[in-house]
Structures are given as C-alpha cells and as structure tokens.
Amino acid sequence: MIIGTAGHIDHGKTSLVRALTGVDTDRLKEEKARGISIDLGFAYLPVEGGETLGFIDVPGHEKFVHTMLAGAGGIDFALLVVAADDGVMPQTREHLAILDLLGLTRGVIALTKADLADEARLSQVRAQIAATLVGTGLEGADILPVSSTSGLGVEALRTRLFTEAKAPRHRPETGRFRLAVDRSFTLSGAGTVVTGTVLSGVVHAGDRVRVSPTGLEARVRSIRAQDRPSEMGKAGDRCGLNLAGPDITKDALARGDVVVDPTLHAPTDRMDATLRVLPGEKKPIAQWLPVRLHTAACEVGARLVLLGDPITPGGSGLVQLVLEAPIAAASGDRFVVRDTSAQRTIGGGRLLDLRAPSRKRRTPERLAQLAAHEKTDPAQAVAALLATAPFVLDLATFCRDRALPESAAADISDALDLVTLPVAGTVHAMARPLWGAFHAALLERLDTFHADNPDLPGMGSERMRLQLQPRLPAPVFAAALDNLAQEGVISREGAWIRRAGFEVRLTPRDEALWARACLLVSGPERFRPPRVRDIAGVLDEPEADIRRMMKLLGRMGRVDEVAHDHFFLRATVAEMVSILVRLDAEHAGAFTAAQFRDQVDNGRKVAIQILEFFDRHGVTLRRGDLRRTNPHRLDLFRPTAEDAPAQELTAQPSIAQKTTEQEAAVSAPGEAGNGREASLVGRPDFKSGRGREPVLGGFDSHSLPPPSTPTPDTGRAGPARRKGGSS
C-alpha cells in the first residue's frame, strides 16, 4: 500500500513520516536549509509478515502543488495532516480537494502538534476538520491526535496503517503493466534507474518494456520493489527499475513518462473526459479554456472543449481535453486541472475515451458513446457501446486503452457472445443479433439486385455498404464481407460482390443477338473477326448494344477483347496460343510477328495487336522484334496444360451447335475452348487497347506474371491460383 501525505506547509508532514518510519524524506540541500519540502520524498515501513508500506511525502507550499500532484497520483491511502495550532488552512483545503478529485476514499486525518493544544482547542479543530470533510471522499474519516516530538499517538497511527494495509488491493494486478515515473537518475555500476508507482499489472526482471510517450525500448535489468531487491514489481508497489537500452539515459527519461508493456504504447493528445468543477471557482468554464493537466505523474498544457452546456462552479459535465503534447494514459485514469498561473485548482475528473474525435464531438451518437464509456465494468461498457451507433467496436483498442490483460478481448467476446472481425491487425466486434440483421439485409439486397440486373456480375461493395444499416466503416465492412465469403454465403471478385452460385446470364434478346453475332466471329474468319461497329452494321443493330453485349460476354468468359472493340472467341484465343507454342518449338524460342501473321493468315496490324495482347498478359515475352512463350502463363488461355493445339472450329456452325460449344467452353475443363470458367482473362480485370478501365480485383493486364507454383499433377511450375477459382 502506498500512503501519501497531504496538508498545509509546516503542519508536520515530513516530521510525522520520520516518526513513523525513521526516515527523513527531505533529501535536498535546499530542503535542509529552508526547513520545508520542495520535492517528493519517499520512505518505507516494514510490516509484520513481509509486506512493506511505502510513503510519498509531498510539499505543502502553494508554489509546489504541481509537485504534490505528481505524488498524489500514485497513492492508495491518504494521510491528511492538520496542525492543532493552525487548524484547516488554504493548502489543507486544496490538497483535500485534489484527493477528492483523484477519487481517494481511503484515508485518515492526523491532528499533529496535539501536545501544543488543550482539549478545548483539539475539539474545536476536530469539528472544523469534520466540517471540511463533508461532501468529499474522506467524509467521516477518523481523526487521530499525534505529536512527532513527544510520540503521542504515533504508535496508534502506525497500527492503524498496518490494519489498512491488509485490505484488498484496488489496483489490478491482472492488467497490463504501467509504472508512472516520478524520478530518473543514474547509479554507479547500474546505469539508468527510474522510480514510480506501479499503476497496474506486473513486471519481472528481464521483461521488455517501452517508455511512453517517447517510445524508447528498454529491458528491465533489475527491480527494487518497496525498497527491497525483487524479481518482480506488482500493482500498488513503489518500484525502482534499472533499465537498459540503446537510447536509455537519465536525460532521456523524465517525470511524467510511463514505463509500459510494449503493447500499451499508444500516446494520445485528445481525450474525452468527465470534469467536476470545484465550488470555489468564480465563473463557469469557458470554451477553449487553457489549463494545466495533471494525471499520474504527468503535467501538460491543455485546452478544455465543452461537449455540452457550460459547467458552473460545483457542477459536472463532459469535456474534451486537447493537449499541447501527447501523453501516455489509460481510460479510467483520474486527472486534475489547474489554471495556467498555477495559483488554483479548477477541478478534475476521469478520462473516458483516449481516441476522441476532433469533429462531430457533440452529436447525440457521440454523447451516447461517452455515456457507455463511463461504465467502469469493461463488459458492461462494451455492451453499451455496441448498442450505440456505429454498432461496431474496435475491441482490441478498447482493451488496450483500459490496460486490460491481453486475454480480455476474448473473454469479453465470449461473455457477450459477440461476432469478431479481424481488421488490420486489430479486432472489431458486433453484437450477434445485429450481425444477424446485417447478414440478412445484405443477402436480401443482393437477391433484389440480381433479380433486377441478371446481366451484371455483382453489386459494387461500396454501393452496398452505403445502402445497409448499420453503415459500417469501410475496413470493417470489408472484413464482414470476407467473413461471409468464408462461410460460402457470398462471392467476391475485386470490387464486386454477389450471391454464391450466381452466374451472369444473357437476357433472351441478348441470347438471340449473340447467336447472330457469333456467326460473324467464328469459322474461317475467326482469326480476323469484325470489330464492334462492323458487327453492328451487318446486323443492323445499335453499336452500343453490341458493345455492351460483347463486354458482358467477356465477363462470362466467352470472348476476349484483344484490342479496343475487337473481340475474339475464347476458343480462338486458345487456338492462337497453341500456334504460338508450335512456333516457339519450331524456331527455338525466337519467332517473329511475321511468322505468326502467316500462321493465322491475317494482316500485320491485327497480328501485332494479338501479340501485344499476349505480351500484356505475360503469355509471350518480347525481346526486340523476337518473342518466345512463357510456359508459366500458357494455361491462362489454353484448354489444358498440355501443348496440344485447340480443336479448330468448323466453318459456319449452326446456332445450336455454336451455343453448345460456347457453354462447353465455359463449364467443361479439358473440352474445346478455354475450359476454365474462373479464368482471369476476358473478365473486367483485363482491359486491353484504348479506354482501359480500372481493374476490379486480382491483377491487371500490366501486372507482372504471378509467382510460379508447382502443379500437383505434374510437379511443373504453373501459374499462381487466385482464391476462389482457377487462374
């Protein structure tokens, strides 16, 4: 247990600590000369059974209240000192107010210099003290008369402190480690040492830690807990840590730093909090009021942003603290604010959310979130947050900001039966009933979209996100889609999402139109099919309709757009790949465009366009005027992994025969045609010629070939497979 003194200057705080422990906490030369405490002093008192009480002696002068606050942030038990001759004085009231703002409810009042006052005076001061304590956390605390000179009541006070030390600890040992640094110095033969109070968790010798907010990494070489060598320090202990690290020096660490578990390093300069203003303030808190913020051992300049109505003296409200520099803190930490002239304490409260927004900070949704953050029980706070917009919570960050153990996220998730979604190294959570409603709404919207748009490959994911409630943040929505895709409920392809099993189908009119157009791009003219405008002219149909249909067929894998508005049957493309393989073999991997042109009996311009199409997809590799095939990319278009040429189409097939062949090219691997429904080529991922569109997923026509992976049947290197289908 850490005991902290408080009280007016010259009321005997240091003398009382010396009487209790035998240690003079005034260690500075100036303190000895002036007879007053200037900096924090420390002493220890062994307790029967092996425990040790730690004392933090704070200065009482009004100029050193900021130093008093650095020590008060780490105490568990208050020892408020009031001299019998003076009674309650200004710093008595201010120190008491600070203890109350810090949430101290355990303490005792030491009525010092009791040997200098008669019984009447003692009764008068007792009554004055009791009246002063009304309305504070120490209301009703025992008042014990003592004299450091004569020893009156010292033993009774010591016994009382021993009894209080047996009470359960209020600082969580199960949380992650945090130590508030109040001193940094160098010991000969040891190196850099920092001391402070362990706010939460446990640290062991040899542990890796970080100094926040600077982020310096360090290793704990040795530990001294409660003034004794130890292998560990736990919550509530006064600890000295001997730190080692490449950048760890006495000057690199300072009062206000926090030594933390490495996972807790996440400084913040904007926090939402509750604020209680002391009744002694003369006017309400103004917007953007400059203050000095004190939390743990840290002091930093800040501005107060009101999140509601003005806070009057004696009132409470929500504020946002905008800091001059980032600090290390935890949700739930207590703080005190004083005026910038360091003449008075304005108020204090509790930190709620360390990741406060700079915009929309007063909306009803945000205020509801802060009401949830006010709950001290983590599970209750999570449940309340998930019942509030945006109905999703970064659970890992929530647990980190509260310094909860690393297992807390899983424990809370199990206790509340949450749905968790991994997002960018963290974990987001949703309540299961809301997840079910979201799931059902998404599928219903997809079904409606497919019914209204049977010729489209799916719905844009961002469009879907904006239409659903709750409207999840984009990264969380993407994780939700991944979850549904893993369950086999939906399929994703780049920016498109669709129902699992949904396939694009032509409308009856497009089927009839394709049956006519197919005759123009097959048969003897298959290597030199007409362009879109020419097909439209022959069929006497609008050019836009032909272009739309051909692009849709490309998504379905029936045709490939080799050049702008120049579509080839998939089977024809596969046949040309076989021709390339034959040329490669005949010419020892160095064939020319003219040789390919002669094989397909085409013009040079079209032959060049075809070869450039294959170049873009990595099927051919060009070196100057020569080309060779890339064996790792051949099966992007070929019907099988073997080198057999594709079966040639007969001249002018019937419509029924052509339709059967096209369907076989889509659905039957190893048959005539491309044989792979999920091929990347011919889909929106691959745009060739002028007017290329952004890719929807996978890799585009300018990407490098995917890495080679051995195929399971032959052991040869084959193309990398894309998740959800063949390459």
Amino acid 704: pLDDT = 37
Check whether 658 has a pLDDT greater than 60: no
Confidence of residue 490 (pLDDT cuts 50, 70, 90): very high
Is the model's pLDDT at 381 over the cut of 60?
yes
Distance between CA atoms of residues 635 and 574, nearest Å = 9
Residues in the chain, how many?
A: 727
For residues 514-539, average pLDDT: 91
The burial class, CB within 10 Å (0-12 / 13-18 / 19+), for 162 is: middle
Name the residue type at position 32.
Answer: K
Alpha-carbon span 129 to 111, nearest angstrom: 9
Q: What is the pLDDT of residue 397?
A: 95
The string of pLDDT tens digits covering residues 538-568 is 999 999 999 988 888 887 778 888 989 899 9
Per-residue pLDDT, averaged over 378-399, amounts to: 94
Please give the pLDDT value at position 683. Answer: 35
Interval 179-217: pLDDT, tens = 999 889 998 888 899 999 999 999 999 999 999 999 999
According to DSSP, the β-strands at 216-225 and 228-230 are antiparallel
pLDDT at 685 over 70: no
Query: 198 - beta bridge partners?
Result: 179
Q: Domains in the chain and their CATH numbers?
A: 2-165 (3.40.50.300), 178-264 (2.40.30.10), 268-362 (2.40.30.10), 363-502 (1.10.10.10), 508-710 (no CATH)
Least confident of 32-41, 75-84, 642-651: 642-651
CA 228 to chain centre: 39
In the chain, helix, strand, coil percent, each to 5? 35, 25, 40
The pLDDT score that the predictor gives to residue 304 is: 96
Q: Is the pLDDT of residue 166 over 90?
A: no
Q: Is the pLDDT of residue 726 over 50?
A: no
Report d(CA 348, CA 107) in Å as an integer: 19
**CA of 380: how far to CAs of 413, 415, 432, 520, 686, in Å?**
12, 10, 16, 69, 50
Average pLDDT over residues 558-586: 90
Residue pair 69/98 in contact by the 8 Å Cβ criterion:
yes
Distance from chain centroid for Cα 427: 8
Burial environment of residue 469 by CB neighbours within 10 A (0 to 12, 13 to 18, 19 or more)? exposed
Q: What does the pLDDT look like over 258-286, one tens digit per residue? A: 999 999 999 999 999 999 999 989 999 99
Window from 210-219, 364-373, 515-524 with minimum mean pLDDT: 515-524
pLDDT at residue 552, as a whole number: 82
Q: What's residue 109's pLDDT?
A: 94
Position 31 confidence tier, pLDDT thresholds 50, 70, 90: low
Distance CA 244, CA 657 (A): 80
pLDDT value at 674 more than 60: no
How many angstroms separate the Cα of 467 from the Cα of each of 444, 461, 498, 500? 12, 10, 15, 20
**Confidence class of residue 669 from pLDDT cuts 50, 70 and 90?**
very low
Mean pLDDT, rounded, for 382-387: 96
> Which residue did the predictor score with more confidence, 170 or 6?
6
Query: 202: closest CA among 267, 261, 266?
Result: 261
**pLDDT at position 480:** 93
Bond from prior residue into 719 cis (ω within 30 degrees of 0): no
Higher-pLDDT residue of 26 and 338 is 338
pLDDT surpasses 50 at 225: yes
Evaluate if residue 703 carries a pLDDT over 90: no
Q: How far is CA 426 from the centre of its chain?
A: 5
The answer to whether the beta carbons of residues 275 and 337 sit under 8 Å apart is yes
DSSP lists the bridge partners of residue 336 as 294, 348
Per DSSP, 401 falls in state: H
Average pLDDT over residues 39-48: 82
611 versus 59: which is more confidently predicted?
611
Which residues, at least 6 apart from 542, have a Cβ–Cβ distance to it below 8 Å? 536
Is 725's pLDDT higher than 60?
no
Q: Determine the pLDDT at residue 33.
A: 59
**What is the predicted pLDDT for the residue at 34?**
57
Q: Is 307 in contact with 362 (CB distance < 8 Å)?
A: yes
Q: What percent of the chain has pLDDT over 70?
A: 84
Higher pLDDT, 579 or 39: 579
User: How far apart are alpha carbons 494 and 696 in whole angstroms?
Assistant: 4
pLDDT for the residue 37: 67
Which pLDDT score, from 0 to 100, does residue 111 have?
Answer: 94
Give yes or no for residue 713 having a pLDDT over 80.
Answer: no
* Pairwise pLDDT comparison (284 vs 12), residue with the higher score: 284
Q: How confident is the model at residue 28 (pLDDT cuts 50, 70, 90)?
A: low
pLDDT at 300: 94
> In the prediction, which pLDDT does 79 show?
92
CA distance 187 to 221: 13
The single-letter code of the amino acid at 452 is: D
Could you tell me the pTM of the whole model? 0.72
The pLDDT, as a whole number, for residue 36 is 60
- The residue behind tokens 């201010």 is 94
What mean pLDDT do residues 336-341 have?
92
Instruction: Give exposure, 263-294, as e/b (b: 16+ Cβ within 10 Å).
Output: ebbbbbbbbbbbbbbbeebeeebeeebebbbb
Q: Report angle CA 620, 626, 628 to the nearest 5 degrees.
A: 35
Q: In this structure, are residues 261 and 401 in contact, taking their beta carbons and an 8 Å threshold?
A: no
Reading across the β-sheet that carries 620-623, which strands appear in turn? Answer: 591-592, 626-629, 620-623
Chain segment 308-334, per-residue pLDDT in tens: 999 999 999 999 999 999 999 999 999
pLDDT category of residue 650 using cuts at 50, 70 and 90:
very low
